[in-house]
Amino acid sequence: MAAKIIDGKAISAAVKEQVRAEIERDKIKAGLAVVIVGDDPASRVYVNNKKKACELCGIQSFEYALPAETEQNQLLELIDTLNADKNVNGILVQLPLPDHFDEKAVIERISPLKDVDAFHESNVGKIMIGNYAFLPCTPAGCMELIHSTGVDVAGKECVVIGRSNIVGKPMAMLLLHENGTVTVCHSKTKNLTEVCRRADILVAAVGRPNFVTADMVKDGAVVIDVGINRLENGKLCGDVKFDEVSEKAAYITPVPGGVGPMTIAMLMKNTLTAARIQNS
């Protein structure tokens, strides 16, 4: 039996509508500053989508597009200015930055209260102990997609493929907070197929096209595909071989239209949370 498709577009639209309704009801002023350095085409698409989402939700959007040759100290000065700006509740520096930047230093310069990506070390630590205000947008979006299936995470075998700071590690923590039994796999994992086949909930965030095949998936699993890869023919595909895995899984996210839209919806939610904290 073919898997049920988890519709990220519909779920993200519901999250954004909820944010818009709360902003309207509580008369909240929320502002998001997005900083983009250089002219990476993928980054430009993301930034434009963020602007559209802000407009939809009633969040004021500030864009700072800096040339690729901008110096590190200039970017840090801009962040200092935004940290002090009362109209800006969230600050997002679009990654990746050009090679001459120290990304870690840039992230650490953002005020933890305005770090709506939840990449700052203090926010990462709060996620670790379960006492957080913000969650990284992609893992938080994945959790919303899992919840939408009605499958309870508690007691389930959960496998995350990928251990990045942006997706893999925080994803594992969020599943753990909901009492999942979590295994994190990576390039050094032995018997990867066997480990994945145990998973009731499988999250693929490895960045390799069609990496997860049907023989790696348990019958009836929930499969969340975080990957977004462009093939030589220009088509987008995920980390999961969708056609064959969807024959075995109970629920699966498509690419595009799965996790992608959720990331921006959760960013809107984080910006609202930041505005509430700062205005209280």
Q: Could you count the other beta carbons within 10 Å of the beta carbon of residue 79?
A: 22
Task: Give the mean model confidence (pLDDT) for residues 63-78.
Answer: 97
| Structural domain boundaries enclosing 160 | 136-260
Residue 82: CATH number of its domain? 3.40.50.10860
Task: Give the mean model confidence (pLDDT) for residues 147-174.
Answer: 97
Look at residue 34 and tell me if it is in a domain.
yes
Are 55 and 152 contained in the same domain?
no
From 114, 115, 117, 269, the catalytic residue: 117
Last residue in a domain, options 112, 147, 163? 112
Catalytic (active site) residue 50: yes
Are 40 and 85 contained in the same domain?
yes
Are 148 and 253 contained in the same domain?
yes
Task: Give the mean model confidence (pLDDT) for residues 166-188.
Answer: 97
At 41 the pLDDT is 87
From 16, 50, 241, 269, the catalytic residue: 50
From 94, 114, 169, 269, the catalytic residue: 94
Q: Would you place residue 65 in the very low, low, confident or very high pLDDT band (cuts 50, 70, 90)?
A: very high
Q: Would you place residue 234 in the very low, low, confident or very high pLDDT band (cuts 50, 70, 90)?
A: confident
* 195 or 230, which is more confident: 195
Residue 245 CA to chain centroid, in angstroms?
Answer: 23
Are 248 and 202 contained in the same domain?
yes
Would you say 87 and 96 are in contact if contact means Cβ atoms under 8 Å apart? no
Would you say 117 and 92 are in contact if contact means Cβ atoms under 8 Å apart? yes
Task: Give the mean model confidence (pLDDT) for residues 152-180.
Answer: 97
Look at residue 129 and tell me if it is in a domain.
no
The pLDDT > 90 percentage for the chain reads 95
Are 187 and 236 contained in the same domain?
yes
Beta bridge pairs of residue 229:
237
At 280 the pLDDT is 83
At 97 the pLDDT is 96
Are 168 and 225 contained in the same domain?
yes
Catalytic (active site) residue 4: no
Are 83 and 196 contained in the same domain?
no
Q: Would you place residue 114 in the very low, low, confident or very high pLDDT band (cuts 50, 70, 90)?
A: very high
Look at residue 83 and tell me if it is in a domain.
yes
Residue 237: CATH number of its domain? 3.40.50.720
pLDDT at 272 over 90: yes
Are 152 and 106 contained in the same domain?
no
Would you say 192 and 216 are in contact if contact means Cβ atoms under 8 Å apart? yes
At 105 the pLDDT is 98
Look at residue 182 and tell me if it is in a domain.
yes
Last residue in a domain, options 97, 112, 127? 112
Look at residue 47 and tell me if it is in a domain.
yes
Look at residue 280 and tell me if it is in a domain.
no
Task: Give the mean model confidence (pLDDT) for residues 86-91.
Answer: 98
Are 94 and 156 contained in the same domain?
no
Q: What is the count of structural domains for the chain?
A: 2
Which residue type does 249 have? A
Catalytic (active site) residue 117: yes
Are 77 and 163 contained in the same domain?
no
Look at residue 3 and tell me if it is in a domain.
no
Look at residue 19 and tell me if it is in a domain.
no
Are 48 and 83 contained in the same domain?
yes
Q: CA angle, corner 116, sides to 112 and 122, nearest 5? A: 30
Are 141 and 254 contained in the same domain?
yes
Task: Give the mean model confidence (pLDDT) for residues 36-43.
Answer: 90
**In whole numbers, what is the pLDDT of the chain averaged over residues?**
96
At 40 the pLDDT is 87
At 199 the pLDDT is 98
pLDDT at 1 over 80: no
The tokens for 45 are 């698409």
